[in-house]
Amino acid sequence: MLKVIQDHSPWYAEGLRFKCTGCGQCCTGAPGYVWVNEEEIQNIADYLNLTIKEFSSRYLRRVQGRLSLLELPKSYDCIFLKDKKCQIYSVRPTQCRTYPWWPQLLKSKDDWKTAARFCEGIQLDAPVVPFETIEKQRTIQEMTNGDPVQLELPT
């Protein structure tokens, strides 16, 4: 009897080519959400020398029980994207830190290829990011993506 050995490794087990170019494309485009938690809100507010109340009233919106950074109304750019650069890069939210290692972009080679059309950092000559690094970032994104923030927005 012939035994069939199935490989349960993800399609990207050999790593993926990526190097952030700082182009800002992941911060612009179609409407979306940049979810933030209480720690991230505090860090960004501190970085901007604002109180939580000031930061919340200027830069946050509540969506389905969660808090998201605002977008500019016409371009849908993140409120913190200026001249194609993140103004809060050192304290950017986890969602931003873990891009492009999001579960939905890693589902299949086709999903990754689609992401590459919008992200110039996903390219054939970029260095290979090891599987372990990808998995760590993907796990961080999965763990933080679903937690609603109970912080009250000022009225």
What share of the chain in percent tops pLDDT 90?
68
Confidence of residue 147 (pLDDT cuts 50, 70, 90): very low
Q: What is the pLDDT of residues 44-62, one digit of tens each?
A: 999 999 999 999 999 999 9
Structure tokens at 153: 């927005």
Structure tokens at 121: 């950092």
**Strand, helix or coil for residue 113:** helix
Range 3-12 contact pairs with CB under 8 angstroms and sequence separation of 24 or more: 10/106, 10/131, 11/108, 11/109, 12/106, 12/112, 12/131, 12/134
Contact (Cβ atoms closer than 8 angstroms) between residue 96 and residue 86: yes
